[in-house]
Amino acid sequence: MAGRKFHDVRAFHGTWEGVYDGRRARLRIVVTQEAPGTLCTLYLTFTDIDRGETFTGSRERLPWNCHEVGSITLSGAATLFWPSLLIHTGDTDVLSGVSDRSNRRYPMSFHRSATGPSYVRDRPFGSFDDWCGAPVGRARYAGSLDGRRAQLDVDVSSAGSERRFVFHLADLDRKADWYAHVAESEVRRWSYDRQRNPLAGVRMSPYWDRQEPLLIGYMYWHSGNAAYVTGEYVVQGSPYGMSFIRARVGT
């Protein structure tokens, strides 16, 4: 059952369970209203469960209607900087974002405690072949597009003598579909981090007439567990979150 739609920043309040770059993680957020006025402060306690590390921090002067919280600094075993934490406006039981640690970016996704799927174990992300898993051919990921039911398929097809990877993103609730593709020869020139984030800045093409293209801000495979994908898309300059789990886990 989906959670409530977004009304105000208080939706961030609560205990969240999920994954941080593929590792099990927990996030506790307390939202308080600043006096006088309508601005709010978030107090965050983040735990990387698998590494046994805990970080704390806060973000002040947030407007009442924000569904994105940025510029969060957390202190602990190291300093974490979170450029973006997005609550999904169609289902406020889902939260996703990215973290910077030691100048490297890591994706994360959470569900409100006791509402999310069980943790899925899979191998670390090694290269672009892990988009499809093993055997290479096709992978399907199920999840949330700003709180709506969504699906991400990654297929391998042939274009002449060369393989290409086709990404198909479907908003199941709105019956909208987009696609993008990239040639294997191009992908092989990419760095590891670029392969983890293959659609950054890509404007996915619509399958159907009267649909608009979809601009992807980022779409990260989690380096510690290739079953998880976290992303962001942008509409009229505003970012919205998406998160997926592979439906058929590779071996």
Tens of pLDDT along 62-77? 999 999 999 999 999 8
pLDDT of 249 reads: 45
Q: Is the pLDDT of residue 244 over 70?
A: yes
**Who wins on pLDDT, 158 or 106?**
106
pLDDT band at 250 (very low <50, low <70, confident <90, very high): very low
**Who wins on pLDDT, 90 or 137?**
90
User: Alpha-carbon distance 222 to 20, whole Å?
Assistant: 8
Query: What average pLDDT does range 215-222 have in this prediction?
Result: 98
Q: Is the pLDDT of residue 230 over 80?
A: yes
**Who wins on pLDDT, 88 or 208?**
88
Digit-coded pLDDT (tens) for 151-207: 999 999 877 788 899 999 999 999 999 999 999 999 999 999 999 999 999 999 999
User: Alpha-carbon distance 230 to 215, whole Å?
Assistant: 15
Contact status, residue 113 vs residue 27, Cβ threshold 8 Å: no
pLDDT of 157 reads: 86
Structure tokens belonging to residue 205? 């093409």
What is the enclosing helix (H) or strand (E) of 46? Answer: strand 40-48
Structure tokens belonging to residue 33? 């209203």
The DSSP secondary-structure symbol of 67 reads: S
Cα torsion 138, 149, 2, 60: sign: positive
Cβ neighbours of 207 (radius 10 Å): 13
Query: What average pLDDT does range 88-107 have in this prediction?
Result: 95
Could you give the angle at the alpha carbon of 125 between the alpha carbons of 53 and 149, nearest 5°? 85
